[in-house]
Amino acid sequence: MRNVLSSNSRAIPLPLPIAAYYHAADIFDGDLLANCFAEDAILVDNGEEFHDPEVISKFIMKANRDAAGRTEITNCAEKNDETVVTATISGNFKGSPIPLDFRFTLNNGKIKALNIVVSSV
């Protein structure tokens, strides 16, 4: 587990593969980001599916750059074999800021699946 700080300075523990995911996305390191995912990983974002760590990484990097996105993690909880990270995403896009749930499924220290949905909280 690795702690991240929320906007109110509350430490939020994240599993290492997830902490690495957010770190790689924050510093725009596509190779490091791709390494967070299993070879057969799947990303579902806004109804679109992406497969393969390199494809997933390129999609996330482009989306983050285009939106000049900023991620503020507000919660992390285990639910139904998933790690759900709730974060407020802000940037240059319609609807900003928006609360999102990042639903991670981990396997052998890698991200096996990530489903990004609007948070119900």
User: Going from the N-terminus, what domains does the chain have, and what CATH number goes with each?
Assistant: 2-118 (3.10.450.50)
Q: pTM for this one?
A: 0.89
**Count of CB atoms situated within 10 Å of the CB of 95:** 8
Q: What pLDDT score was predicted for residue 70?
A: 87
**Coil, strand or helix: which one is 74?**
strand
Spell out the residues 6+ positions from residue 112 whose beta carbon is closer than 8 angstroms to its own.
Answer: 38, 40, 41, 42, 105, 106
Per residue in 62-111, pLDDT tens?
998 988 878 899 999 999 899 999 999 998 988 899 999 999 999 999 99
Per residue in 19-44, pLDDT tens?
999 999 988 999 999 999 999 999 99
Q: Which has more confidence, 41 or 12?
A: 41
